Structure 1
Amino acid sequence: MASVRYIVDPDLAAGYDFINSAIVQRDLLVVAARCSVVYEGRGASRLGEGDRLIIVKPDGAVLVHRPTGYSPVNWQPDSHVITVERQDNSILFRSVRKRPREVLEVTISKVYFAIAVHGLVDDAEFIEYLDEGEIADYLARHPEVVEEGLRIIRRERPLESGYADMVAVDSEGRYVVIEVKRVTAGLEAVKQLHRYVENFRKANPEAKVRGILAAPAITKDALSLLTSLGLEYRHIDVAKLYREAKREKRRGGAASLLEFIKR
């Protein structure tokens, strides 16, 4: 179980002891402090004194954040050596990488608070799901995921009000306009599919046309509207599609979109 220590508004001596102890124990360290930063390595930079958030991870990654914005203003992806020195009116924190040699020095003149967490564990698998285009590409290669007997005839079909993700022909010879969403489909997704179906009917007045909305989930209101418009919903498991697409890529067996269009 992780253990947490913290210190609030310490003097520099107590702040030094706390920060140095956290570094020695390879804790996750978060420090709100007034500091300046100097970097030398593949380039060089100097950041004047200001209030910053300093994060040091157990693997030696170091990030210095301003009070606003999500990107760090300075960082080291890892450190071979981290040292903390007590100076007359400051604490000098130094992170050194050997290859390429990079040195990040943070001179701390005031510590507002510091938190050290020891024993954090995170071994969960990270799954980065597909975006809508990648999902549609996979479904174009495997239309049976949407419905058995479908044959895709066009990806990104231009219509009067936009581009339909896919147009297919079903086992009974009817055209099927398919719109794909990677998140829960709401009313706007249903309205979008309806526009595409009506555009397709207008351009092909003699054709029998269906509309399918493929998404991992759909809101109650959206499903009610979809049904009232004579359209259909198909559940897709985005995590499963990601795993299958990844497996295809490893096998090298997936046809490219260009190859698919040429078929």
Structure 2
Amino acid sequence: MAEVELLKEPELNEALEALRRGLAKRLVILIIGCCNVHYKGRASSKLEPGDRIVLIKEDGSLQVHRPYGYEPVNWQPPGCVFHTELHEEGLRLVAVRHTPKEHVRITFSKIHLLTLLNLVDSGAFALHATEEDMQRAILLEPSLIEPGLKPITYEKRVEPGFVDIYARDREGRLVVIEIKRKTAGRDAVLQLHKYVQSLKKEAKTPVRGILVAPKLAKGAQKLLVSL
């Protein structure tokens, strides 16, 4: 059963104590408040003060949402190291990654709601769809793959065959997405690698490959990392 601790309109020092407690226990943390956000890494960005929804998950990932839209305006993947302090501007939360070196710094001047959640989710995920259904879903909601992904086209012809989805990520890099309805094995990984190499020669710019499948066969993950 989920355990919930909720602080409504807390003082910043009270919120800091709760936030540190939640981070130490690797809880899911939901913060709603007025904040500004700075990102520095491969690029840089600044978000002026406004009411935002900040979500930290137990895996160390971070999302910052505005009151509208489904994509986070700032985010960091799992594995972040978090630093917290009371600053002259307010409560400061910094999510740091070392590889690549980047950070998101959030400064709250006011917190409306802070919730610590010990959630339990052991449910299995089952996908019943054709590859065409999966392709259509990604084209309609690219954030299913990752925030900031922008499809360019689909069924793009390249020398080795056809790319299921051709896109660009939030860093401006080209992305090749290969979709498999069932378990993806060595052949799928090598096929994706051929597409990526072909497009690197054609585009002369960084190209990423993403393999979308409900499951990877034994050895496929290791091969993906090695290529």
Confirm or deny a common fold (TM above 0.5).
Answer: yes
Q: CA deviation at 1:11?
A: 1.4
Give the match for residue 116 of structure 1. Answer: 116
Give the match for residue 42 of structure 1. Answer: 42
Give the match for residue 58 of structure 1. Answer: 58
Give the match for residue 68 of structure 1. Answer: 68
Percentage of identical aligned residues:
33
Alignment of 1:20-169 (within 5 A): 20-118=20-118, 120-131=119-130, 133=132
Task: Report Cα offsets for 1:148-194 as digits up to 9, x if no partner.
Answer: xxxxxxxxxxxxxxxxxxxxxxxxxxxxxxxxxxxxxxxxxxxxxxx
SS in 1 for 2:59: coil
Q: Is the CA contact (8 Å cut-off) linking 1:79 and 1:95 kept in structure 2?
A: no
| Gaps in structure 1 of 5+ consecutive residues | 136-242, 253-263
Q: Is the CA contact (8 Å cut-off) linking 1:52 and 1:66 kept in structure 2?
A: yes
How many residue pairs align between the two structures?
142
Task: Report Cα offsets for 1:59-111 as digits up to 9, x if no partner.
Answer: 11000000111110000012431011112340010000111111110011000
User: Which contiguous aligned blocks of 4+ residues in structure 1 show a shift greater than 3 angstroms?
Assistant: 131-135, 249-252
Q: How large is the Cα RMSD of the aligned pairs?
A: 2.4
Letter in 1 for 2:182: K
The CA distance in 2 between the partners of 1:80 and 1:134, in whole Å, is: 33
Higher relative contact order (CA 8 A, sep 6+): 2
Give the match for residue 3 of structure 2. Answer: 3
Alignment of 1:144-223 (within 5 A): none
The CA distance in 2 between the partners of 1:54 and 1:129, in whole Å, is: 32
Q: Is the CA contact (8 Å cut-off) linking 1:90 and 1:107 kept in structure 2?
A: yes
TM-score, normalised with respect to structure 2:
0.57
SS in 2 for 1:246: coil
Letter in 2 for 1:246: K
Match of 2:182 among 228, 237, 246: 246
TM-score, normalised with respect to structure 1:
0.50
SS in 2 for 1:16: helix
